[in-house]
Structure 1
Amino acid sequence: MAEQNVNSSHKPIISLEETLKAILPDGKVNGKLPPVHLWNPERSADINMEIHADGSWWHEGGRINREALVKLFSRILKREEDGRIWLVTPYEKVIVHVEDAPFIAVRVDRAGEPGREQTLAFLTNLGDVTLAGPEAPIRVAFDAETGEPAPYVEVRAGLEAKLARPVFYELANMAEPGPDGDDTLGVWSQGVFFPLMQDS
């Protein structure tokens, strides 16, 4: 299978920029996302595309500074069942080496009455808005040695945004006891309670 045998010397069928022009001929990011869930090309490539922990995109060791191009690339990201993340087109897919998460959540807003009725909206570094809830869970991973929290929210289809530190602090300020009456603190969004603490 191509997914298991990515050849770093393989050249893409067409350039990524040409592919993006085919998907978004007017170059505008607004509008519906491309149907990447329907695209399962057999051809794959590794062109040294990376997303660093700070959310920056890199190609062959050089930072991609064209914000519009990065936003276009982010629209065709796809996370496959094995956890790997790809730039996928109808023609082929390019693996993306993600250091932490493909997005950074840079802002959180609360709508509705605080508590069970509220909805938390997160804005990413690339302009995506995700509403935490059943389809977009918040999770907090903890370092096994230090116990340091690493909070995430799902943006779409398994692709997550790591919460920037100020955003996590703001979220922690919204925390309240869980519905079971225990000491677990967390936040509500769209009727779902998301713990922010590590299980004792």
Structure 2
Amino acid sequence: MPSTPPTRDPMQSLLDAARQAGDGLPPVDKWHPDYCGEMDMVIKRDGSWWHEGTRITRDRLVRLFSTILRKDDDGIHYLVTPVEKIGIEVEVAPFIATRVDVVGEGKDQSLVFTTNVGDLAEAGQDHPITVEVDEETGEPTPLVRVRGKLDALMARPVFYELAERAVEHEGVMGVWSGGEFYPLGAV
């Protein structure tokens, strides 16, 4: 009688994939080409990519561009190759966190975010969660670091899911991931 292979926990597989995220991407942080100017490219708040006023609708092209994107210490986003560095505009964040999966629970849980371009990021020291609040409107802008200095804006349902999981810690509501507590707002 043939033996059946042991089944692997799908959530553990997701966590393992998130921990290997970035493997195989171009080493844009190691490339230091000359600055070549600006390109009329914009990544809008909704995660859509636009070139010269026209939306880029080919997902594979967006994914390709996303792999050579870098944000430098000057706060500017660049498309970087070994021979070129071109500035582009990013309205809020270059990616959208379209999904969050929870592995474990309580202080031991891990939150794994999936972006609109297929990146995975396990919130923790290397992938912190931040929530910026507009002083005038009070509207939150929830972000998770994906790679380098590149963030993903959490889609509203993703942020609502985090808010539902929020717990109080030292007078602040937030979530745990990777042994770190991330404030989402005051109690």
Q: Is the TM-score greater than 0.5?
A: yes
Q: How does 1:7-156 map to 2 (within 5 A)?
A: 32-112=24-104, 114-156=105-147
Gaps of 5+ in 1: 1-29
Structure number with greater CO (CA < 8 Å, separation at least 6) is 2
Structure 1 residue aligned with 2:172: 184
Distance 1:93 1:183 in 2: 45
Q: Is the 1:43–1:91 Cα contact (8 Å) retained in structure 2?
A: no
Q: Is the 1:55–1:102 Cα contact (8 Å) retained in structure 2?
A: yes
Distance 2:127 2:119 in 1: 13
Structure 2 residue aligned with 1:169: 160
Q: Is the 1:109–1:122 Cα contact (8 Å) retained in structure 2?
A: yes
Change (3 A) 1:43 1:183: closer
Percentage of pairs with the same residue: 53
Deviation of 1:31 (Å): 5.8
Which has more strand, going by share of residues? 2
TM (norm. structure 2) is 0.86
Specify the SS of the correspondent of 1:141.
strand
Alignment root-mean-square deviation, CA: 1.4
Distance 1:196 1:31 in 2: 30
Specify the SS of the correspondent of 1:197.
strand
Runs of 4+ in 1 over 6 A off after TM superposition: none
